[in-house]
Amino acid sequence: MSIFQRIWGKKSRDKPKNYLSTAFTFLFGPTSSGNVVTERTAMQTTAVYACVRVLSEAIAGLPLNMYRYTPDGGKDKAINHPLYRLLHDAPNPEMTSFIFRETLMSHLLLWGNAYAQIIRNGTGQPIALYPLLPSKMDVSRAANGQLIYTYSKDSDEFGADNRCQQIVLSQDEVLHVPGLGFDGLIGYSPIAMAKNAIGMSLAAEQYGALFFANGATPGGILEHPGIVKDPVKLRESWHAQFSGTNRHNVAVLEEGMTFQQLSIPPDQAQFLETRKFQIDEIARIFRVPPHMVGDLEKSTFSNIEQQSLEFVKYTLNPWCVRWEQAMNQQLVLPSERLQVFTKFNVDGLLRGDYQSRMNGYAIGRQNGWLSANDIRELEDMNRIPAEQGGDTYLVNGNMLPLDKAGKFYTESEGKTP
């Protein structure tokens, strides 16, 4: 029993909870804008869709490999390991590795959790991975304290016999990548946490759509100097003549009536400024630079490259570590964890422009910590055979250890130092 269990007792073994959601629906509640925000309606916002797409495609496009530790402390690709093919090529016969990771990453960004069923062979080695929808998953504990995953299959899903069939999976049958959460076991949805910001973006978009659907014509009131005998008939007559396809007709007002604008024009309501701010607000939720979702207002040629590097270091890298550690813990057999591990390669994204890379390679080559083959591998070029010097490390002859300074001069003059 761990010290945490001894201190907290039974409380430490409670069912994992996400206090913002149940197994099937988010308890969002009303937003300040009045719009209903769920993970699906949020994707109708262009900024949310762009952020989810950028992060999902970035994680899916990174090289993902299995490595094996070497006796000298280095690492080599474990190409012959069964997990290498699953993670690098195809996790199942129906999906490529790119599609699989893109799908799970989108689940992680929208629901806060990503699940995949692990199919194992007789030795316990994973042989296939299949994505599971987070909205149909419920995580609880068995009587022995182990996590169990209950998945609800609809009648249209493969193998479902009834209208709604529940499948109970053990902890070693599910790859679970949780996002930021309250208990470290279940992640909560970024969409639920930012429902008001996303709801405001939806409201601004709907307002603009309705405004232009009305021909960009603001509403108003008709003023009559006297008493209108039949206001309902007057209103219906006005709508019949100046709404729909007739909205741009010329109005002829009789009996001294006047038309007074009632709605606030979009420029006075700062409509465009609101929409621009909501893009930055949503990009802030997912920690995506605004220029990557199409907002170039504050971007320049000098800072876009720096923002892209920061995106890799401060946005992608935490997600990569989260994925790597989940896969190492749940896919690699306990007997192999000291020998093999999974790792994303982000070196290609951290490269600068061509001139900066060449200058860096030149410094590494001249100072003896990069060989020709090291550089060629970083540039995705074929290796030079070792017998031709491809693995030779060179050093600048002008650089000597301090205790050997002047040794050549003393030896040439026949003097002892």
Which of 250, 231, 247 lies closest to 239, judged by CA? 247
The confidence score (pLDDT) of residue 213 equals 62
The confidence score (pLDDT) of residue 220 equals 65
Q: Check residues 204 and 1 and name the one with the higher pLDDT.
A: 204
Backbone angles phi, psi at 73, to 5 degrees: 90, 0
Which of 60, 165, 161 lies closest to 114, judged by CA? 60
Domain borders along the chain are 21-216+270-350, 219-262, 352-417
The confidence score (pLDDT) of residue 248 equals 52
- pTM score: 0.73
The confidence score (pLDDT) of residue 162 equals 56
- List the Cα angle 101/323/315 in 5-degree steps: 90
**Any residues with CB less than 8 A from the CB of 122 and at least 6 apart, and which?**
none
Instruction: Give residue 117's pLDDT band: very low, low, confident or very high (50, 70, 90).
Output: very high
Rg of the Cα atoms in the chain:
31
Element (H, E) at 282: helix 271-286
Tell me if 324 sits within 8 A of 66, measured CB to CB. no
Asked if pLDDT for residue 102 goes beyond 80, the answer is: yes
Q: Which amino acid is at 1?
A: M
Question: β-strand 174-178 against 340-344: which pairing, if any?
Answer: unpaired
Q: What would the pLDDT profile of 178-229 be if each residue is shown by its tens digit? A: 998 888 888 888 888 878 888 777 777 776 666 666 555 556 666 666 666 6
The confidence score (pLDDT) of residue 395 equals 77
Tell me which residue has tokens 């899903």. Answer: 157
Asked if pLDDT for residue 127 goes beyond 90, the answer is: yes
Q: What would the pLDDT profile of 383-398 be if each residue is shown by its tens digit? A: 888 888 888 888 776 6
Classify the phi-psi angles of 263: left when phi > 0, otherwise alpha if psi is within -120 to 50, otherwise beta: beta
Written as six digits, the tokens of 29 are 């509640």
**284/13 Cα distance (integer angstroms):** 35
**151/136 Cα distance (integer angstroms):** 6
